[in-house]
Amino acid sequence: MLTLVHHPDYLLHRPSGHHPESPERLKWIEEGLKEAGLWERALHLGPRPASEEELLLVHTPEHISYVASAWREGRRWLDLDTYICSHSYDVAKLAVGGVFRAVDEVCSGDERIAFCLIRPPGHHAEPDRSMGFCLFNNVALGARYAQRTHGVGRVLIVDWDLHHGNGTQVTFWDDPSVFYFSVHLYPYYPGTGRADERGGGPGEGYTLNVPLPWGSDDDAYERTLRERLLPEVERFRPELVMISAGFDAHRADPLSGMEVTEEGFLKMAEMVSEVAKEYAGGRIVSVLEGGYHRSALPRSAVAHLKGLLS
């Protein structure tokens, strides 16, 4: 069975004007899952807010304090792209806590696949700063939480958001217990994710970036996972698989320069599902990142979940 983590308070993080990262994104996905019959079949879990102590698993005290106090001190933007409102800090903690609930369920419950319908997204957030619509790094915190709370040794993070997850990379740069794999458009925001960025110190070789050119399609993404990820997985043998599930590489997405379709997201999810079954007891925690098109986003999310459940 599929576990869905969601909560109406995720809609409270709201821009004052037009912004691609809007509350409507979650509404679109919910509608799509209901139309596909996946909503009714799922186990539904609510999140809990992450504590400030738990945020310290990845983020610095100064960064946490900055986000917590920003609105009160009159700031409305944490960088050129990342807005906040009066609810943003609490919603961001609830997003992290949603991933924690998913990890709890997958690591100690009866279910093995969880999808976190959360926002704001997270993979651009570095330990000491917010950026790229992201306040805290949800997937990185989830990986650390799985290791600390559930004794998970090796975590694989697969990131196919259109943009490179610079925050996740920085977090685990020198850590051989987390393998970070990213396939993304390059050159593009945030400018990181070159093929020669492979980790450092004991973590060297545990970061794998596959930058793809503009216009890359389903075949390019599937070939990348098959030829670049799968050999590394055999060596790494993860105990938990996490996905930074961005759908903004879809050909219709307003931020995209790629040609990925729903079929591509389905195939990638099927491949990651096989990896989880082979090495991690089927345990997958998928975390929503980007995706901003009214119809392409829910269609891609439905395809993604069908692939994970295959």
CB atoms within 10 A of CB 254: 11
Identity of residue 161 = D
pLDDT digit string (tens) for 191-244?
A: 999 999 999 999 999 999 999 999 999 999 999 999 999 999 999 999 999 999
Domain count, the chain: 1
Q: What does each of the 310 residues of the chain score in pLDDT, given as a tens digit?
A: 899 999 999 999 999 999 999 999 999 999 999 999 999 999 999 999 999 999 999 999 999 999 999 999 999 999 999 999 999 999 999 999 999 999 999 999 788 999 999 999 999 999 999 999 999 999 999 999 999 999 999 999 999 999 999 999 999 999 999 999 999 999 999 999 999 999 999 999 999 999 999 999 999 999 999 999 999 999 999 999 999 999 999 999 999 999 999 999 999 999 999 999 999 999 999 999 999 999 999 999 999 999 999 9
- Give tens-digit pLDDT for 31-53: 999 999 999 999 999 999 999 99
Range of the domain at 166: 2-308
Quick one: DSSP state of residue 183? E
How far apart are alpha carbons 265 and 243 in whole angstroms? 12
Tokens of residue 24, six digits: 């409507």
DSSP element (H, E) containing 210: strand 207-212
What is the domain-level CATH number for residue 235? Answer: 3.40.800.20
Catalytic residues: 124
CA dist., res. 307 & res. 270, Å (int) = 4
Alpha carbon distance 156, 280 (integer Å): 10
290: Cβ contacts below 8 Å, ≥ 6 apart: 21, 121, 133, 161, 162, 163, 246, 247, 248, 253, 255
